[in-house]
Amino acid sequence: MDFDLTDEQRLIRETARDFTDKEIVPRARENDRNHHFDTELVGRIAAQGYLGAIIPREYGGAGLDYVTYGLIVEEVGRGDSAMRTVVSVQTSLVCSSILRWGTEEQKQRYLPRLCSGEWLGCFGLTEPDTGSDAANQKTRARKTDGGWVLNGSKMWISMGNHARVALVFAQTDPELRHKGVACFLVDTDQPGYQPQTIEGKMGLHGSDTASISLDDVEVSEDQMLGEVGDGFKIAMTALDSGRYSVAAGCVGICQGCVDESVRYSKERQQFGRPIASFQLVQAMIADMVVDTEASRMLVWRAGFLKDAGRPNTTETSIAKLYATEAAVKCANTAIQVHGGAGYVDDHPVERYFRDVRVTTLYEGTSQIQKLIIGRAATGINALVPA
């Protein structure tokens, strides 16, 4: 077993670390306070090649492997989860789906524009009444002479307001359940596509989150990704990549909690000495270190399996479950180390605490990850009545 990164991977990680510290970290608090989706910063992230890291160079990507992609996402996630969400959605959910399921023409049309950041993409799977039960799509696709007409609504869509292309999942025949789902590449300037910002989020204030209504949106035949009936598998394979990316971002949050807590506890004096010298503070830091390292190893293993082309759905769910829950714990513990100072946004741990909470919800809740892991362990699908 080899835990060493290659020289190239180390260099890319260092570059991502520097970039995050110079470009992302200094803007994170103001973007969060102002609820500002920083498109200018998204452009800089794209210029680094981080929006198409795992996409081959011939389509405008950086042609990197999954482990290296995970290292980049970890650093961006340490800096700002709102920006990490952009990287995850654009790269893992949108680009990787087009790469895997698209025709040559679709790849040529969309991937270079998405990798360069000229266009943003969004992933329209979740609906107001369809969350964990993703096969139960209420959005309808009706066949016409020249293509399809889409009607329905989508919910919790990251970048729904800013996307130029939306992957929209829709049911072509409800009787077929998941075998009737199709996926469409919808140009968002088409009549009938109407996004609306979702207000009042607990965190990710620097991220754009929208609901989308689809009212007689006409799409041509060549805007379908894959075939009728491929839609559900497209969503699941996208989520295999997306969950990996969320997990890697959470390793970044864990690491950020450790770094901030070590720094603060060495500066902060109580009872005449730094609080880092107290055993109970060290115990909190040790718990965070262990959670960080364990999460990172699980992410690296999932990345290794992806790069080897081996099945990895269960291992990805294990990494996602563990790293997101660990990051929630670390953010809470880091605030405890900071005391009152952790309750305001002078320190990033306050933002970590709010931003991390969604990671055990989106791209499959912790409970869904447990059902995937439990099914692999027992061979029994808990979602099918006995």
Name which of 19 and 362 has its Cβ closer to ligand CAA: 362
Check residue 89 for interaction with ligand CAA (CB under 6 A).
yes
| Residue least distant from ligand CAA (Cβ) | 364
CB neighbour list of residue 82: distance below 8 Å, 6 or more residues apart: 28, 31, 32, 37, 204, 205, 206, 207, 355
The residue within the footprint of ligand CAA, chosen from 157, 165, 321, 356 (CB under 6 A), is 157
The residue within the footprint of ligand CAA, chosen from 20, 90, 126, 139 (CB under 6 A), is 126
**Packing angle of the helix pair 25-33, 348-356 (nearest 10 deg):** 60
CB neighbour list of residue 320: distance below 8 Å, 6 or more residues apart: 243, 244, 246, 247, 363, 364, 369
- Shortest Å, Cβ 27 to ligand CAA: 21
Contacts (CB under 6 A) with ligand CAA, residues 300-359: 313
- Shortest Å, Cβ 89 to ligand CAA: 6
Distance, CA of 79 to CA of 25 (rounded, Å)? 5
Query: Count of CB atoms within 10 A of residue 44's CB?
Result: 17
- Shortest Å, Cβ 46 to ligand CAA: 18
The residue within the footprint of ligand CAA, chosen from 6, 132, 197, 270 (CB under 6 A), is 132
Q: Is 363 a catalytic residue?
A: yes
**Packing angle of the helix pair 348-356, 313-338 (nearest 10 deg):** 140
Check residue 195 for interaction with ligand CAA (CB under 6 A).
no
Check residue 138 for interaction with ligand CAA (CB under 6 A).
no
- Shortest Å, Cβ 213 to ligand CAA: 16
| Residue 312, both tokens | 């990895």
The residue within the footprint of ligand CAA, chosen from 44, 113, 140, 233 (CB under 6 A), is 233
Distance, CA of 75 to CA of 10 (rounded, Å)? 12
Choose among 369, 37, 57, 98: nearest CA to 223: 98
Task: Please count the residues of this chain forming the interface with ligand CAA, following the rule CB under 6 A.
Answer: 23
- Shortest Å, Cβ 117 to ligand CAA: 18
Check residue 135 for interaction with ligand CAA (CB under 6 A).
yes
Query: What string of DSSP letters covers 143-187?
Result: E-SSEEEEEEEEEEEETTTT-SEEEEEEES-GGGGGGGEEEEEEE
Catalytic residue from among 74, 260, 325, 363: 363
Check residue 169 for interaction with ligand CAA (CB under 6 A).
no
**H helix intervals, 268-364:** 279-307, 313-338, 348-356
Active site residues: 363
Interacting residues toward ligand CAA by CB under 6 A: 89, 123, 125-126, 132, 134-135, 157-158, 178, 232-233, 236-237, 239-240, 313, 362-364, 368, 372, 383
